[in-house]
A and B are shown apart, each in its own frame.
Chain A
Amino acid sequence: MEEATAYLRDGVLSHLEKLEAHARTLALKQEETQQQQEKLARLRARVQELRLQRDELQTKVNLQQVGLIRQERGTGSNVEPIQAVEARGKALLKWEVENVKSMLQAFHLTGISGKLTKQGVCFCISTAYERTYLDSYYLDLLIQQPVQIRHHSVPIFIPLEEIAKKYLQTDIKRFLAMLSEHLNAYAGRKYQADQLQEHFSAFLEGTLQRNLLQNVLLFNYDVETESKTFPFRAKLVYGDVTRSLPTEAIITCKGDVSASLLEKTAAHSNLFCHTALHKAFDSFKRAAERLEQTA
């Protein structure tokens, strides 16, 4: 009441204004609290919902575990426990990996295999000669127009550039096939010469001369006939570098040569042109052993 009288002194209208403002602020506050209460109620309801969900899931999990244990104890054969499933998965994966590995190995053994790289392909040409696998040579190609050889491990004396010029841009398959032919023939010739040096050095006089491409071989070897040893000199020329047998075998014998010796040189020349070098010498060795046995 004292306030009222104080306000009355200032003026009725101003008093009314002040009361209005007061009422407004009270109303706002009421609204606010109402909103907060609503929000709280909503959140509480949400919490209840989530709690219910959690309980549901929890019971589900419990049931499953219990159910499994019950089944394990009960039947035990039809449904497998989780660990067995995992183990089977691992075994399957292992089998798949082994499968892929052996497929890649099979591809590698065919002689030409490849692997995709970031910018192209890396081909691997494996060489082999008569059941023996020899060196592998690699070619890293950039797949773009024009196809480029980024780097390679092909020896310098194989005419890679020539073959590439002819076939690389037009027909990659043919390019690889030709290169594989060259490399395999080179590997075959080298293998024969190596075998000769390693296993039949007893027959050779002096050293076996060979050039880098292994396509010209020169050696001296002894031939025993008519109870005498004759020094034969052989020059094998492999005119076709894609083949591992010589195109020409020139056999000469120093000194006076009888007709039978001439026959022998011709026979040897023929032999070298049609049989692998180490096999030819193997036949010489066996012939010599037979002679020893009969003598």
Chain B
Amino acid sequence: MLDNTGFTVLIYKLQENCAGIKQAAILDMIYNHTYPNKKVWTVYQMTRVAGEETDSLNLADFKYKFKRSLQTALKNVTINFREYEDNALWIRIAWGTQYTKPNQYKATYIVYHLQTPYVFISSLRSNLPLLCQALVHASNYHDIHEMELRSRCLDSLKDIVFKRYSQTFQTYHPRPLQERNVAPEKVDPRIIQENKREKERIQRVNQEVFGNGLQPKIEFAQYKLETMFKGEPEMDILTEKEPFRCVVKFSSPHLLEALKSLAPAGMADAPLSPLLTCIPQKARNYFKIKERKDILSASCLGS
């Protein structure tokens, strides 16, 4: 969103040129499409009831149904659509109430790819149920829920849910490794690597877990712990009475690349905890960790 003063200036300029709210909204959308990392995007997933056939949906139908669904529920809304080449439909909604006009400064943005069940939403402060109902109705799905996946990088979120990032699979026919520009270091032959084997093992394990390509870009991973405190039996104030609640948050400009470089830098043991490495695979970066019910359950419990 252009900041408040920016938007006001824009409105005035457009009014000077006899342009209207619609043009301003479109310009706002173009700006946000070019700089999507100014917002935090949340991923929502739509689900079908088992047995429902997937109809091939028409874009025009979707737009019409969506607009109608929202406008019958709330008259004071401004809805703008814009389609982009990568099959993304961008929707901008400015919300008002029964008695006030839509607030153009706090618009919500929605990105939807037609043949996928995923919707990316940012800047939504209220009216979530209304929006969800409109989306589900317009796209012929049954239900929608929020995935615990948030980031500023919209493309990375798409990579994670569309599975476009590089995953490693065990195969006899390995894909050719991409050439990395590594300048050969001028190694003095008198220097011997004592831990060469261990370094190679770390590299191998790291590659198995993270793959060869660039990781999707997320900025946070948050773990809410509701586990019992396991301490010395003498400190029986805390042991075994109530779950010890705490929140662990990892943040980084590029969290997954940072995690990938931990083991080679010697700061963590390889392999890393599956709680950290399962983020792209489970498509979530907000976790709730409860007590392990039995030994056989997976070590990465989600909520």
A-side residues, CB < 8 A to B, are: 104-105, 107-108, 113, 115, 117, 122, 124, 136, 138, 140, 151-157, 159, 162, 165, 207, 210-213, 215-216
Contacts and interface: CB of A to CB of B under 8 A. Distances in A.
Given A138-B167, A211-B87, A104 B172 contact: yes
Nearest to B88: A212
Scoring B161, B167, B170 by chain A CB atoms within 10 A of each residue's CB, the highest score goes to B170
**Chain B binding surface SS class:** loop
A151 B173 contact: no
Given A138-B167, A207-B85, A215-B56, A156 B172 contact: no
Nearest to B168: A138
A155 B163 contact: yes
B172 A115 contact: yes
Contacts of A113: 171-173
A107 B175 CA distance: 15
A95 to B, nearest CB: 18
A157 B113 CA distance: 10
Nearest to B169: A138
Interface of B: 50, 54, 56, 85, 87, 113-118, 161-163, 167, 169-173, 175, 281
A162 B49 CA distance: 12
B170 A122 contact: yes
A165 B54 CA distance: 14
Contacts of B85: 207
Nearest to A165: B50
Contact of A162 (B54, B113, B173): B54
A153 B115 CA distance: 17
A210 B59 CA distance: 12
- Residue picked from B50, B115, B163, most chain A C-beta under 10 Å: B115
B173 A153 contact: no
Contacts of A107: 172
A210 B170 CA distance: 33
B113 A117 contact: no
A152 B161 CA distance: 12
A185 B105 CA distance: 46
Contacts of B171: 113, 115, 122, 124, 138
Contacts of B175: 136
Contact of A212 (B54, B87, B163, B170): B87
